[in-house]
């Protein structure tokens, strides 16, 4: 049986669905991936996954998008996949359309968070809703990573209940084991980044774009520095220049924010999390954030915004604090509350770890996906 997963960029294949592909490959499937190529292609191919280069761009570019569509149509006709599974906004629409045109027998879509949200201008929301509607016409079944998106998809008439399944978020828990807070390893990592033992570290992991709430985080951090001189801010993640709301490190300087460490893209995420006293994700929009699951798995208390996905990943007052979107004052107070209450912080971190163990194990999701493929193909499910 031949399977192809489609995403916009190779980074998504590597860090979002790589382990799922390996799980299915181990069960005898011929597994392929298609995306715009980048530095992670050798790693993907090194694990035995056939990678096909598709010239996706992340911007709206009709001519380039047409080339992407034609490339996928040719790929699907040549390889004759039994199943095509699409991800990410652009990859999902173009990939599902190509699979529909080539009459791929089984077509799946994982909704990693609808792009439209309540704070978006109405004309933009209508635009993205239209493309989600079209995508729903091209696929046989969809998964959602949060419950609210499933309810929204049903309410808007994209899918009947039997064609859309809540999957939830998942991570490789074996990679996220809490460090002892006083461990020499943790102190060594802190020193390697440029922090001292007495520093209190606020951490963020994600793409450097405005919609991740970085402007509000810089404002909150600046106000807190006046009360907590030993406070430091650690920003982990890649710049995203293709996005119209891209943020560069220079923006922090322009805002008068000092002592910020921009660590860039890192593969040692558990090490980065281990040095943080509180993890912050003040996003405007999410699906089901990997970073919140990873922080909780590492026993780090979290602060996040009241948006779908985030409010499902965090239990208010138990594993972290949820604040209004775009409110730097509330964000600052939530961070201050955790940093000045060590008993609360420890309790939240421990509760977050328990939640991660109970709900965020990606190995529980993989059989659900594979059995959905088999059911759609009229084959018996695996145990």
Question: Does residue 27 sit within a domain?
Answer: yes
pLDDT at position 258 is 82
Question: Does residue 247 sit within a domain?
Answer: yes
The verdict on 153 and 181 lying in the same domain is: no
How far apart CA 2 and CA 194 sit, in angstroms, is 48
Whole-Å CA distances, 189 to 196, 261, 281: 10, 13, 22
Q: Which two tokens stand for residue 178?
A: 């809490």
The verdict on 54 and 149 lying in the same domain is: yes
The verdict on 344 and 253 lying in the same domain is: yes
Question: Does residue 382 sit within a domain?
Answer: no
The verdict on 83 and 142 lying in the same domain is: yes
The verdict on 9 and 96 lying in the same domain is: yes
pLDDT at position 31 is 98
Question: Does residue 139 sit within a domain?
Answer: yes
The verdict on 260 and 323 lying in the same domain is: yes
How far apart CA 148 and CA 144 sit, in angstroms, is 9
The verdict on 149 and 251 lying in the same domain is: no
Whole-Å CA distances, 297 to 74, 178, 198, 289, 321: 42, 7, 24, 13, 16
pLDDT at position 336 is 98
The verdict on 311 and 297 lying in the same domain is: yes
Half-sphere exposure of 217 (CA within 13 A, CB side): 31
The verdict on 351 and 371 lying in the same domain is: no
| CATH code assigned at 90 | 3.40.50.2000
User: Domain containing 67: what range?
Assistant: 2-168+365-376
Q: What is the distance of C-alpha 227 from the center of its chain?
A: 33
Question: Does residue 114 sit within a domain?
Answer: yes
The verdict on 13 and 147 lying in the same domain is: yes
pLDDT at position 244 is 77
How far apart CA 248 and CA 210 sit, in angstroms, is 10
Q: What is the pLDDT along the chain (383 residues), one digit of tens a residue?
A: 999 999 999 999 999 999 999 999 999 999 999 999 999 999 999 999 999 999 998 777 788 999 999 999 999 999 999 999 999 989 999 999 999 999 999 999 999 999 988 888 999 999 999 999 999 999 999 999 999 999 999 999 999 999 999 999 999 999 999 977 667 888 899 999 999 989 999 999 999 999 999 999 999 999 999 899 999 999 999 988 777 788 988 898 889 898 899 999 999 999 999 999 999 999 999 999 999 999 999 999 999 999 999 999 999 999 999 999 999 999 999 999 999 999 999 999 999 999 999 999 999 999 999 999 999 999 988 75
The verdict on 163 and 177 lying in the same domain is: no
Question: Does residue 383 sit within a domain?
Answer: no
How many domains are there within the chain? 2
End-to-end, the C-alpha distance of the chain in Å comes to: 18
The position carrying tokens 């715009």 is: 36
pLDDT at position 383 is 58
- Residues 6 or more apart in contact with residue 243 via CB below 8 angstroms: 58, 207, 209
How far apart CA 53 and CA 67 sit, in angstroms, is 12
pLDDT at position 267 is 92
The verdict on 237 and 330 lying in the same domain is: yes
Question: Does residue 320 sit within a domain?
Answer: yes
pLDDT at position 197 is 85
> What are residue 177's phi and psi, to 5 degrees?
-115, 125
Question: Does residue 302 sit within a domain?
Answer: yes
């Amino acid at each position: 049986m031949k399977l192809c997963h489609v995403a916009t960029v190779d980074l998504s294949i590597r860090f979002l669905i790589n382990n799922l592909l390996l799980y299915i490959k181990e069960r005898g499937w011929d597994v392929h991936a298609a995306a715009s190529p980048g530095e992670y292609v050798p790693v993907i191919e090194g694990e035995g996954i056939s990678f096909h280069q598709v010239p996706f761009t992340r911007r709206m570019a009709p001519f380039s998008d047409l080339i992407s569509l034609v490339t996928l149509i040719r790929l699907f006709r040549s390889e004759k996949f039994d199943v095509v599974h699409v991800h990410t906004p652009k990859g999902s629409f173009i990939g599902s359309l190509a699979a529909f045109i080539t009459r791929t027998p089984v077509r799946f879509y994982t909704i990693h968070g609808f792009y439209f949200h309540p704070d978006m201008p109405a004309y933009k929301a209508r635009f993205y809703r239209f493309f989600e509607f079209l995508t729903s016409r091209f696929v046989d079944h969809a998964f959602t990573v949060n419950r609210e998106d499933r309810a929204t998809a049903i309410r808007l008439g994209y899918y009947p209940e039997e064609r859309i399944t809540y999957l939830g978020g998942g991570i490789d828990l074996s990679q996220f084991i809490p460090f002892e807070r006083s461990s020499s390893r943790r102190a060594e990592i802190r020193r390697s980044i440029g922090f001292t033992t007495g520093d209190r570290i606020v951490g963020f992991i994600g793409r450097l774009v405005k919609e991740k709430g970085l402007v509000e985080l810089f404002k909150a951090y600046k106000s807190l520095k006046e009360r907590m001189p030993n406070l430091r801010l650690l920003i982990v993640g890649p710049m995203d220049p293709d996005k119209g709301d891209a943020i560069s490190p220079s923006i922090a300087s322009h805002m008068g924010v000092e002592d910020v460490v921009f660590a860039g893209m890192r593969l040692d995420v558990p090490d980065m999390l281990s040095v943080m006293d509180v993890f912050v994700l003040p996003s405007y929009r999410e699906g089901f954030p990997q970073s919140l699951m990873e922080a909780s798995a590492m026993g780090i208390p979290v602060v996040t915004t009241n948006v779908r996905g985030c409010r499902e990943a965090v239990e208010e007052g138990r594993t972290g604090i949820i604040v209004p979107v775009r409110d730097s004052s509330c964000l600052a107070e939530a961070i201050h509350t955790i940093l000045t209450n060590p008993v609360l912080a420890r309790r939240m971190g421990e509760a977050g770890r328990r939640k991660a163990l109970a709900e965020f194990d990606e190995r529980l999701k993989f059989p659900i996906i594979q059995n959905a493929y088999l059911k759609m193909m009229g084959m018996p499910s695996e145990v």
